[in-house]
Copies of this chain bind each other. A is one copy, B any other.
Amino acid sequence: MSETDDLPSPPGSFEALRLQLMARRDTLPKRLAQVAAYAIENPDDVALSTASSLAARAHVQPSTLVRFAQVFGYSGFADLQAVFRERLRDRVPSYEARLSALADSAQEATASGLLFDGFADAAEHSIKGLRSRLRPDQFDEAVEVLAGAETIYLIGQRRSFAVSSYVSYLLGTLGIKHVLVSSPLRNDVEICKFANERDAALAISFTPYTLSTIDSAKIIAEHGARLVVITDSPFSPLLTHARSWFEVVETDFNGFRSLTATMTLSMTLAVAIANARRERSA
């Protein structure tokens, strides 16, 4: 290439570079685009790694990183990396400061900003609440039940369906045999009749309890499978059949309850089940 090429702009700040990357995203050759995507998604990694380890993670050659940097006007990778490091330096001291700045600026926030803040507060509060309430032994108990099962039946409708479908996704990626009993609208009661005493079920339900969720859980329990329940009250009708249960109280904001504590708990369950299985087979 001729030396009259474009090297007008070695962006000096992370934000400037970020804009450039986005602007030129479509005109960049394949590997360079790959690097650009990786760099934006893992800026910390770019700041702290060596060129070769970074190259390996982004599935390119070290030399590609150097070329990438040069295309954007830097003299080499080190030069580019300096920008990412600068960002890291600034951020850490300002991290706490940003939180308080956020509180200050809440005054001139828009309506939708307030809405988001409210839901975000509710989410954080829910998680904090679950944190203080969750007892490790009850957790271990539930994991034992579910990890010992041949097939895990997942029950949850309406808002709980989001959670059970997520658990289904996680168990799928973890290679754990399971059945998602619920569809968004109703449960497949026929499927529940296949359960036996080697199986277990995870039922998730909050007030007002959906009838078919209770029915499905009951059928599965009557077929001998053990039942783990996530619910919001010790008076939940699901508990009659439960072997082990969690009380999760989601914080309410404007009449809508967060789902984050339930999601976080379920996620932990899924991974803990996989860990327990791995230990058993080892």
Interface residues of A (CB under 8 A from B): 18, 21-22, 25, 33, 36-37, 40-41, 44, 47-48, 85, 88-93, 98-99, 102, 109-113, 115-117, 119-120, 123-124, 127-128, 130-132, 134, 136-137, 139-140, 143, 158-159, 161-163, 165-166, 168-170, 180, 184, 207, 232-235, 249, 254, 256, 258-260, 263-265, 267-268, 271-272, 275
Tell me if B184 and A169 are in contact (CB < 8 A). yes
Do the beta carbons of B48 and A85 come within 8 Å of each other?
yes
Q: Which residues of B contact A117 (CB under 8 A)?
A: 131
A88-B260 contact, Cβ under 8 Å, with A119-B268, A136-B113: no
Cβ B267 vs Cβ A119 within 8 A: yes
Main secondary structure on A side of the interface with B: helix
- A134-B116, A162-B165, A271-B254 are known contacts. Are A127 and B128 too (CB-CB below 8 A)? no
Task: Indicate how many identical chains form the complex.
Answer: 2
Instruction: Report the minimal beta-carbon distance from A21 to chain B, rounded to whole angstroms.
Output: 7
Q: Are A136 and B112 in contact (CB under 8 A)?
A: yes
- Docked-complex contact B258 and A267, CB < 8 angstroms: yes
Distance of A84 from chain B, by nearest CB (Å): 10
16 contacts between A and B (CB under 8 A): A21-B234, A37-B235, A44-B91, A47-B48, A48-B89, A88-B88, A99-B128, A110-B137, A112-B272, A115-B275, A120-B264, A124-B127, A158-B169, A162-B263, A166-B259, A260-B260
Known contacts A109-B136, A116-B139; 9 additional CB pairs below 8 A are A41-B207, A102-B131, A110-B140, A113-B134, A116-B264, A120-B131, A162-B166, A162-B169, A165-B184
Q: Which B residues touch A120, using CB under 8 A? A: 127, 130-131, 264
Known A127-B123, A267-B119, A268-B119; contact A112-B143, beta-carbon cutoff 8 A: yes
Known: A88-B48, A127-B120, A263-B260. A132 touches B98 (CB 8 A): yes
Asked if A260 contacts B123 (CB within 8 A), the reply is yes
A264 contacts B260, CB within 8 Å? yes
Q: List residues of chain B with CB within 8 A of the CB of A233.
A: 37, 40-41
Whether B115 lies near A272 (C-beta < 8 A) is: yes
CB-based closest 3 A-B pairs: A162-B166, A37-B235, A110-B136
- Asked if A259 meets B263 with Cβ closer than 8 Å, knowing A92-B88, A235-B33, the reply is yes
- A89 contact set on B, CB distance < 8 A: 44, 48
Which B residues are in CB contact (< 8 Å) with A127? Answer: 120, 123-124, 260
